[in-house]
Amino acid sequence: MPTWQVILLGLIEGLTEYIPVSSTGHLLLVEHLLGFTSPGRTFEVLIQLGAILALLTVYAAKLWELARALPNDPRTQKFVLGILLAFLPAAVIGAAGHKIIKTIFFESPLLISSMLVLGGIILLVVDNIKFEPTYTDVLDLPPSTAFKIGLCQCLALIPGVSRSGSTIVGALFLGADKRTAAEFSFFLAMPTMAGAFAYDLYKNWSVLTVDDANKIALGFVAAFIAGVFVVRHVLDFIKAKGLSFFGWWRLIVGGIGLGAIAIAGM
């Protein structure tokens, strides 16, 4: 695979991971168009480490504050418990359905494109609902509410749904305002993406070659650079502009995918 294609895929991962458009869906569609297939579809998951480290870099100070407060602050303890509870459903279902997700869902451009379109419609509808938020600070979300958001995240095991999209929409319906919903999605991404990375590496390390490792490393760097930019700006964008921009984005990309399938039998 040419270097420019690896960099392109890394940039796509970093730019789309933390916005509600489905980074995996975008990566898989572009890879189908380019004719690129990684061993065990590991490239798509392992370059997420770049996006994870981008988030950790931007949120380093906040994470340090949470770590310092955790031993003695009940509010912080409840928040961390909520993140762990929210992480569990996708971890269990993702591990149990790993083979189906990788060998069936990942290989269906029709499914991915359809989910992009459906998710776009949902975002446009949700963005016009006048919610009355109960929670305006991510630390105030109760563990029970966090767990329910984690159940919503399980929908993102279907590529094209979007992990951040499902958690943001779920959090909005459960009482969070837009910025809080997006920020909780950030925090939930840390254990979820790290777990997916570790599990996928464990399952597929034996099939990776030195060339695969080099491609993953290059994609990782590109994803990190793009991810830092997005994490720094996306919360304010969602708070100010809402979700409709991402809804239209999904409709356009999903529509292009469906058109390609219809015309060229991608």
Residue with tokens 């070659």: 209
Summarised one tens digit per residue, pLDDT across range 104-115 is 898 899 999 999
Direct distance between the N- and C-terminal alpha carbons of the chain, in angstroms, rounded to an integer:
19
The whole-number average pLDDT for the span 205-216 is: 77
Question: Mean of the per-residue pLDDT values for the chain?
Answer: 91
Torsions phi, psi for 138 (to 5 deg)? -60, -30
Residue recorded with tokens 């399952």: 203
Confidence (pTM) = 0.90
Q: What percent of the chain has pLDDT over 70?
A: 97
pLDDT the model gives residue 217: 87
pLDDT in tens, 214-254: 888 898 899 999 999 999 999 899 988 899 999 999 999 99
Contact 175, 133 (CB under 8 A): yes
Q: Which of 192, 162, 176 is nearest to 18 (CA)?
A: 162
Alpha helices in the chain (DSSP H): 3-16, 23-34, 42-46, 48-58, 60-69, 74-96, 98-103, 109-127, 143-153, 163-173, 178-204, 210-241, 244-264
Section 152-160 average pLDDT = 94
pLDDT of 266 > 60? The answer is: no
The pLDDT, as a whole number, for residue 92 is 94
Q: Where are the domains of the chain?
A: 3-264
- Rounded (10°) CA dihedral 113, 118, 124, 130: -150
